[in-house]
Amino acid sequence: MSKVKKIPKFKTEAQERAFWESHDSSEYLDWKQAQQVSLPNLKPSTKTISLRLPESLLDRIKIEANKRDIPYQSLIKAWLAKDIEQNRHP
């Protein structure tokens, strides 16, 4: 294991942010010892958008969502995510 430096104590979050902006973390942490973390309750940030759709298309989407017993916005998100996942690899 390589010798790592001791991480200083910080009085404020701003001090700590400034420190890490100008220092290489590999000098202070042994990243070979790192473990993957799971944060199951962390919700991704979302952003509200406006999307204009033909009324007939929106009506058809709402019918499909109703068949699945989910909100139509959730169905649109699921369809978009599935399409992106399927098409991101050539």
pTM exceeds 0.75 for this model: no
Cα–Cα distance for residue pair 45/24, rounded to 1 Å: 28
- Output the six-digit token pair for 88: 């991101």
- Beta carbons of 76 and 61 less than 8 angstroms apart: yes
Higher pLDDT among residues 67 and 85, named by residue? 67
Provide the 10 A C-beta neighbour count for residue 3. 6
Instruction: Kindly indicate the confidence band of residue 3, based on its pLDDT and cuts at 50, 70 and 90.
Output: confident
Q: What is the pLDDT of residues 59-84, one digit of tens each?
A: 999 999 999 999 999 999 999 999 99
Higher pLDDT among residues 89 and 83, named by residue? 83
| DSSP state at residue 71 | -
Q: Has residue 40 got a pLDDT over 90?
A: no
SS3 21: helix
- In the chain, count H helices and then E strands: 3, 0
Nearest Cα to Cα of residue 51 among 79, 87, 28: 79
- Beta carbons of 72 and 65 less than 8 angstroms apart: yes
Quote the percentage of the chain above a pLDDT of 70: 96
Q: What is the pLDDT of residues 19-34, one digit of tens each?
A: 999 999 999 999 888 9
